[in-house]
Structure 1
Amino acid sequence: MAVVLGFIPTPVGFAALDAAAAEAELRGGPLVLVNVIRDGDEDDPRHAHAEQLDRAMERLHRLSVRVDVRQVRTDADLSSALLDVVEEERAELLVLGIRRDQEVARHLLGTTAQKLLLSAPCDVLIV
């Protein structure tokens, strides 16, 4: 069964990548890495550039399961774009990296993470 990773090119995003890779191997894959780009907000640091995606692929090259890397453009919210991929792939697991360095993040999840946790039709692993 598929594992979908909502990937952002940050240290916590790469930690989530490692966790997603391990889960994909355990479950027999594939691993679908998804980086969502919001139209009109291309300078958002959550948007992965080619060299960041190359770095991610370097970490995944030893996997025995299929790896699919996608950049999805949307004018909707990020969670909707990720949920579309989860449903399309019939994913068994969605993996997310959550930033822990913000004061508010210790008390509340961001709206994207909340929506994904409440709406995903599969298990969600938060790293």
Structure 2
Amino acid sequence: MAVVVGFIPTEVGYKALDAARDAAEQRGGPLILVNVVREGVDEDPRHADDLQLETALDRLRRSAVRVQVRQERTEDDIADVLLKVVEEEKAELLVLGIRRQNDLARHLLGLTVQKLLLSARSEVLVV
């Protein structure tokens, strides 16, 4: 079954990618890597450029499952885009990375993650 990973080119994003690869291999794949680009927000560090996407693919080259990369552009909510991809791909699992900058942040989730946890029709793995 399909596994979708919401990918951002950060340390946390690469950890989520590794967890998604492992989950896709256990489930028989495929793995769909999704990077959401917000229109009108040019300098957002969550936007992966071509080199960062290639680096992510390099991490997945030894994977036994088929890998697909989707860079989705939107003016809408990032969570809505990921939910749409999960539905389109009939994904069984959505993998997300979260930033934990301090002890308090470990107990709080961002709005995007909260929405995905509450709305996804698939299982959600938070790394």
Structure 1's consecutive aligned runs of 4 or more residues displaced over 4 angstroms after TM superposition are none
Task: Find out whether 1:15 has 2:15 as its counterpart.
Answer: yes
The Cα shift of 1:103 comes to 5.9
Matches within 5 A, 1:11-50: 11-50=11-50
Shift of 1:63: 1.0
Q: 1:1-127 counterparts in 2 under 5 A? A: 1-102=1-102, 104-127=104-127
Q: Which runs of 5+ in 1 are unaligned?
A: none
Over the aligned positions, Cα root-mean-square deviation in angstroms equals: 1.0
| Partner Cα distance (2:104, 2:71) in 1 | 28
TM-score by length of 1: 0.97
Cα distance in 2, alignment partners of residues 45 and 34 from structure 1: 15
Question: Following the alignment from structure 2 to structure 1, what is the Cα–Cα distance between the partners of residues 41 and 102?
Answer: 21
Question: Between Structure 1 and Structure 2, how many residues are aligned?
Answer: 127
Structure 1 residue 102: Cα displacement: 4.9
Report how far residue 19 of structure 1 moved: 0.3
Equivalent residue letter for 2:6: G
Q: Which runs of 5+ in 2 are unaligned?
A: none
CA distance in 2, matches of 1:105, 1:120: 22
Question: Which whole-Å CA distance do the structure 2 matches of 1:80 and 1:102 have between them?
Answer: 27
